[in-house]
Homo-oligomer: A and B are copies of this chain.
């Protein structure tokens, strides 16, 4: 689920509003995150961005990703492969995980979320304050070439 990427001035505005300096590197990284429906690792971004910007440093990517997470412009993705992955999609949503291709697909369903939230609110979890709920749906993409469509 890749929504239409915001243009550069919107990205710059987002970065500025977060209190971070608007640098070329941050713009490029945030743009790259918007331009893919993958859930990129630092290494992925480095490979993609190095082509147009050979001077870009891998350390900068790691630091930038941390900053963007801290400011709430992106979020970390939960996964099982021991690699840090990021998601530019910050609205509450869940993920489909393909066990075979390791692909992670966004899955947004406000109705399901409110269903779960209302169920949990009547349940008592002592000594824990819930901030966010996400669903992991593990399984298989049946035809890897084709896209996964949720109706």
Residues of A in contact with B (beta carbons under 8 Å apart):
76-84, 96, 98-99, 105, 109, 112, 115-116, 119-120, 123-143, 146-151
Contact = CB atoms under 8 A, between A and B. Distances in A.
Nearest to A41: B82
5 contacts: A79-B80, A96-B125, A115-B116, A126-B151, A136-B136
Nearest to A143: B127
Report how many copies the assembly holds: 2
Contact of A135 (B79, B135, B143, B149): B135
Contacts of A115: 115-116, 119
Nearest to A69: B80
B148 A127 contact: yes
A105 to B, nearest CB: 8
A118 to B, nearest CB: 10
Contact of A130 (B105, B124, B137): B137
Contacts of A80: 76-79, 84
A136 B77 CA distance: 11
A103 B96 CA distance: 24
Contacts of A84: 80-82
Contact of A133 (B78, B82, B136, B141): B136
A151 to B, nearest CB: 4
B140 A125 contact: no
Nearest to A140: B129
A49 to B, nearest CB: 20
Contacts of A82: 82-84
